[in-house]
Structure 1
Amino acid sequence: MSTEVDFYELLECERTADDGTLKSSYRRLAMRYHPDKNPGCGESEERFKAISEAYDCLKDPQKRAAYDRYGHAAFKQQGGGGGGAQDFSGFSDIFENIFGEFMGGQRGGSRGPQRGADLRYDMEITLEEAFHGKASDITIDVSGVCEVCDGSGATKGTAAKTCQMCKGHGKVRAQQGFFVVERTCPTCHGAGQTIADPCGNCHGEGRVEKTKTRTVNIPPGVDEGTRVRLTGEGEAGLRGAPAGDLYIFLHVARHPLFERDGTTLFARTPISFTTAALGGEVHIAGPDGVDHQIKIPAGTQSGRELRQRGAGMPVLQGRGRGDLVIQIEVETPTSLTSRQRELLEEFRATETGKECPQTSGFFKKMKSAWG
């Protein structure tokens, strides 16, 4: 990649996302940006390559661990070749981790039990629900606190003890020649504590799989991709650690009449050629349930846009509303009665060319161009 964009940002995931979330997000984005679906679009092709590179790294546990610790610097080539300048950015953090004690760094405290993972839930709503907002119940399968041991992971009447291997730090250091290497404690797996008598219900983790129902309050004015956060409703933390968060990603279903751009609503509106010529009005039923009456000026042409102020979508977490814009399409009649045809023939017989200046002007230019 020519630019070092964060891999998690490319995959639209939190850094605590589990393998399943990463895989699901990658598949969704890969389908969106695949070159076969976007022929000739160089930007989509580059985006597809970028998300593929990001997923290839993060799906591998060892590569992901290295990336989480050192970022893109973990995969930079070191050494000669080509005589070009080498990029050593980011290596100050690596040296601090390796030589921490020799360079005056302080040894970190106990990591403690790990915070629960954040979860993602995709919800589809209608345009009308996006307009008015709604409260919706969702049901998810998630790790919750074990009620038998109250999340401690230990059998009732017992307690976790400080890990003797790492002395509660969650990390151990080993000297290999000149280097001092720090890694996660293999005994407590970074928790800093061990459990001699684990809870039989959760097997020492302090959490079990549960089915939970939660209410999601969707505010008026939400748009495609709006994210609603439910704090503490994600995966339960290990052995009493804080729970992660639950993120609700909203997807607004396609509407048969309206298209949306921010707070502005667009509607392609066909009108008869007599209404276009003589003027009139149309009635548009908005997502607010109101019948909006829009006047059509005489002589309106196809493609003209007429705007109704304040008849669009509400401003998210704000005041006011956007506009409703109708895009006029003048429809030519395809089935005429004999009387209608007779009237149109009479009209054509009276035409002077001034009625349709664009048409007469076009043919005058054509005649002039060809002498």
Structure 2
Amino acid sequence: MSAKDYYEKDFYTELGVSKTATAPEIKKAYRKLARDLHPDKNPGNKQAEEKFKAASEAYDVLSDDTKRKEYDEARDLMASGAFRGFGGAGGPGPGAGPMGGAGGFDINDLLRNAGAGGGAGGGGAGGFSDIFSGLFNRGAGGAAGGAAGGQRAQRGRPGADLETEVRISFDQSVTGVTVPLRLTERGTCDTCHGIGARPGTTPRECPVCHGSGMTNRNQGSFAFSEPCNNCHGTGSIIDDPCPTCHGERTVTKTRTLTTRIPAGVADGQRIKLAGKGEPGLAGGPPGDLFVVVHVSAHELFGRSEDNLTLTVPVTFPELALGTTLRVPTLDGAVSLRVVPGTASGRKFRVKGAGVKRKDRTGDLIVTVEVAVPQRLSSAAQEALTTFAEEQTDDPREAITRALASRDAGGGS
């Protein structure tokens, strides 16, 4: 891929974010795309696979402050064409004049904040060369030398973060559980150990870039580095590819690991497993693994933070006369004393019957509610009618008084 191809890619569009997006917004957008486009979720879907790769490439640049700054500068400067026609320092360029030529405008002075070096002559390397070298050199094995200065050492690239999902029961979310996780990812080929060549053979140095993986190309009055087209930026030529990875150096692997879901995990919570993501390249550190936990609903219990909730239907006589209720907990049962005259909707607290964590324990909140029967027998209807006739207390006394006042005043 040439530098022109690189800066013409709009990584912000790939992730669906604006150029002013914050790091958390970029991270959130990438994780959503990674979850929706992951090969495990779209087996055999080449279009989804390409979009997944494009999103990963975009995130690799935009998630790193240094890479993002270099990318933005290179894209803005070159795409705008703002410096066409200016000569380089040390000799007249195509646009030599008041701002060109010896002792005149040096483009590297403008690009010095991007690490630009002085170019020798009108076509000397530097400026954009340094910008693109910084972008393309990650994992490419070093940039080509020239006036920009020497061969760059290969830098390890951190592995990508991965995300997976797991579903557990409500009881398991309260007590905690150990679950197996099955992951599919790109990893170093075990046959060639990441060399890309058939065992017993070795790649040879690329004769074009001499093993650096980068070449210098002049354009107008300046030059910049780009990945070598002959070796595709790897620095080596594989004459006899590995039969397993076909020279790609990595293969799709499946691995299984187990992790402990802690007690009290909530539905939709993301758990970070540091260093359990995709392996790094060229000695770089591995990425992280994020586990999204889905909790199945319980037929009886609900949850409010560390407290469990339970609604218990009761009859009117039970509240009016008082009763003892036997209610379940997640690990047994308890008895609750309901005193005579208890109102519907009253809450009872059962200490220590909620979510148990290392430093605290929640409670069980029991709410009693009157269950109104849909159908009544003749005897029940007669009994309720008699009760209503003998009832002397007005449950709506304040409302009755207010209505009487409005009627007396002639209000409508």
What's the TM-score, normalizing by structure 2? Answer: 0.61
Work out the CA distance in 2 between the residues paired with 1:18 and 1:63: 15
Structure 2 residues not aligned, in runs of 5+: 1-17, 43-50, 81-109, 119-125, 135-151
**Could you report, residue by residue, the CA deviation over 1:112-170 in whole angstroms, capped at 9, with x for unpaired residues?**
56544332211111111111222222334333432222333333344456666666665
Aligned residue type for 1:324 = L
Does 1:331 pair with 2:374?
no
Does 1:131 pair with 2:148?
no
Work out the CA distance in 1 between the residues paired with 2:190 and 2:39: 30
Structure 1 residues not aligned, in runs of 5+: 26-55, 79-93
Cα pair distance change 1:123/1:18, threshold 3 Å = closer
Work out the CA distance in 1 between the residues paired with 2:375 and 2:116: 86
Work out the CA distance in 2 between the residues paired with 1:172 and 1:147: 31
Alignment partner, residue 349 of structure 2: 307
Alignment partner, residue 296 of structure 1: 338
Say which is worse superposed, 168-177 or 223-232, in terms of deviation.
168-177
Does 1:267 pair with 2:310?
yes
Q: How many residues align?
A: 320
Alignment partner, residue 35 of structure 1: none
Say which is worse superposed, 68-77 or 360-369, in terms of deviation.
68-77
Note if contact 1:160-1:196 (Cα within 8 Å) is conserved in structure 2.
yes
Work out the CA distance in 2 between the residues paired with 1:24 and 1:5: 28
Note if contact 2:26-2:62 (Cα within 8 Å) is conserved in structure 1.
no
Work out the CA distance in 1 between the residues paired with 2:31 and 2:227: 24
Work out the CA distance in 1 between the residues paired with 2:164 and 2:378: 60
Alignment partner, residue 160 of structure 2: 117
Does 1:280 pair with 2:297?
no
* 1:263 CA displacement: 1.3
Cα pair distance change 1:161/1:321, threshold 3 Å = farther
Work out the CA distance in 2 between the residues paired with 1:156 and 1:141: 25
* 1:330 CA displacement: 1.6
Aligned residue type for 2:29 = L
Alignment partner, residue 101 of structure 1: 117
Aligned residue type for 1:133 = G
Does 1:367 pair with 2:404?
yes
Alignment of 1:184-263 (within 5 A): 184-187=227-230, 189=232, 195=238, 197-231=240-274, 233-237=276-280, 243-263=286-306
* Aligned residue among 13, 21, 44 for 1:4: 21
Aligned residue type for 1:365 = A
* Aligned residue among 189, 209, 222 for 1:146: 189
* Aligned residue among 384, 388, 393 for 1:344: 384
Cα pair distance change 1:236/1:158, threshold 3 Å = farther
Say which is worse superposed, 268-277 or 142-151, in terms of deviation.
142-151
**Could you report, residue by residue, the CA deviation over 1:11-59 in whole angstroms, capped at 9, with x for unpaired residues?**
26299x598249979xxxxxxxxxxxxxxxxxxxxxxxxxxxxxx9x96
Does 1:20 pair with 2:63?
no
Work out the CA distance in 2 between the residues paired with 1:128 and 1:248: 19
Work out the CA distance in 2 between the residues paired with 1:95 and 1:292: 74
Cα pair distance change 1:171/1:370, threshold 3 Å = farther
Q: Match of 1:13, SS?
A: helix
Note if contact 2:308-2:354 (Cα within 8 Å) is conserved in structure 1.
yes
Q: Match of 2:388, SS?
A: helix
* 1:345 CA displacement: 3.4
* 1:277 CA displacement: 1.9
**Could you report, residue by residue, the CA deviation over 1:332-369 in whole angstroms, capped at 9, with x for unpaired residues?**
23344444444433332332216x3xx22222222222
Structure with greater Cα Rg? 2
Does 1:70 pair with 2:68?
yes
| Alignment RMSD (CA, Å) | 4.4
Note if contact 2:272-2:290 (Cα within 8 Å) is conserved in structure 1.
yes
Work out the CA distance in 1 between the residues paired with 2:60 and 2:112: 17
Cα pair distance change 1:61/1:245, threshold 3 Å = closer
* 1:273 CA displacement: 1.2
Aligned residue type for 1:366 = L
Cα pair distance change 1:204/1:182, threshold 3 Å = same
Work out the CA distance in 1 between the residues paired with 2:176 and 2:225: 51
What's the TM-score, normalizing by structure 1? Answer: 0.67
Note if contact 2:160-2:277 (Cα within 8 Å) is conserved in structure 1.
yes
